[in-house]
Amino acid sequence: MRPSGYLELLIVAVLVVLAALFPLVGSNLHIGVGLDMMMFAALAISWALFSGPTHYISLATAAFYGLGGLIVAMGMADYELPFWLMIAVAALAGGVLAALIGLATLRLTGVYFVIFTLGLAEMIRNLVSWIQNNFLGSHGFLIFSDFRDQHYYWMLLAVVAVVYLLGWVINRSRLGFALRIIGNDETVARHVGINTAMAKVILFTTTGFFAALVGAIVAPRWSYIEANQVFSPHISFLVVIMALLGGTTRLWAPIVGVVPFLLIWNWINGNLPNQSTLFIGVAFLLIVYVLPHGVVGRLEQLRSKIREGRS
């Protein structure tokens, strides 16, 4: 609808190409950091597709990410199925799981939704662990792969690009408008004729699909994968904090949270490894007290204030 929308896509396309060239010049250490950034960018942007406009904070990312990882590991280790087939299966499974969770949580709002998604992710983790220990006779899977860090980096970059494009399309569609209305007032949304349940399930399914896809892509990198690790709730919280730190008012806003957070995160893990939880807490306080709409939301506020001041 707006011409600036196409300009935005062009800028993003150029940035994607530049990002794709990075592994050719960066050192292995830098590629490793870049890989983490791509992974969290993909997770945070796809998380924000649903949670940004609707304000439904989902802590179920680990469930999809873990499911994706585990499906790839199982397929490759136990059945020697190809990686490419398994990531497709994993992403679809993530989508199906998200649709089921979405249907089950339709009537939950606010804090009940948050706790339900967290509880569900933990339940799946324990269930999978229990099945593995009692019926599959092992704790985890060994996976071998020829991929190197730059390959993961490129695959994750492709996911980021696809998620971004999809988000761009959704934001310009009826569905995107419907989600903004739902986030503002669900009662009004229903009374203007929006099928709120359908809109929420579609977006939550999309989020689950991509989180599982990301988990699936990075699965071989673990070498040895077990449920407790790959379903760790840590990842759900990290995604939420990074996305909220950047903001959710723009599609690219979560990246503004991902990059600085991971740089500090890596430094803390290297130098003060016992303080990482403290850092998460401080970041969370910062968001709640200083940046309720994220860094990008704060900058936009400042910009509109300056404009008002001029006129």
Partner 1 sequence: MSPTGTPILRVRGVTKRFGGLVAVNDMSFDVGNHEMVGVIGPNGSGKTTMMNMISGVFRPSAGRITMRGRRLSGMPAQNIARVGVGRTFQLVRLLPGLTVLENVMAGAVFGHSRRWGGDAVDIAHDMLDRVGLDAMADAPVSALTYIDQKRVELARALAGEPEVLLLDEWLAGLNPTELETGIDLIHALRDEGRTVILVEHVMDAIRALCDRCVVMSSGAKIAEGTPDEVLSDREVIRAYLGDDDA
Provide, rounded to whole angstroms, the least separation between the CB of residue 300 and partner 1. 13
Report the DSSP beta bridge partners of residue 142. 224
Residue 60 phi, psi dihedral angles, 5° rounding: -100, 5
Best CA proximity match to 99, nearest among 244, 225, 198: 198
Whole-angstrom Cα distance, residue 294 to residue 286?
9
Helix, strand, coil shares, percent, the chain, to 5: 80, 0, 15
Candidate segments 143-151, 177-185, 222-230, 256-264, binder of partner 1 by CB under 8 A = 177-185
Candidate segments 2-10, 104-112, 194-202, 277-285, binder of partner 1 by CB under 8 A = 194-202
Q: Please, which residue, 137 or 193, has the CB nearer to partner 1? A: 193
Among 1, 18, 290, 306, binds partner 1 (CB under 8 A): 1
Q: Please, which residue, 183 or 260, has the CB nearer to partner 1? A: 183
Contact residues for 74 (Cβ-Cβ < 8 A; gap 6+): 141
- Four-residue CA torsion sign, 49, 50, 53, 58: negative
| 3-state SS class at 140 | strand
Among 139, 151, 190, 221, binds partner 1 (CB under 8 A): 190
Among 26, 183, 233, 260, binds partner 1 (CB under 8 A): 183
Residue 179 phi, psi dihedral angles, 5° rounding: -65, -40
Among 28, 126, 133, 184, binds partner 1 (CB under 8 A): 184
- By CB under 8 A, tell whether 109 contacts partner 1: no
- By CB under 8 A, tell whether 305 contacts partner 1: no
DSSP run (H or E) holding 142: strand 140-142
Candidate segments 38-46, 58-66, 190-198, 235-243, binder of partner 1 by CB under 8 A = 190-198
- By CB under 8 A, tell whether 178 contacts partner 1: yes
- Contacting positions for partner 1 (CB under 8 A): 1, 174, 177-178, 180-181, 183-185, 187-196
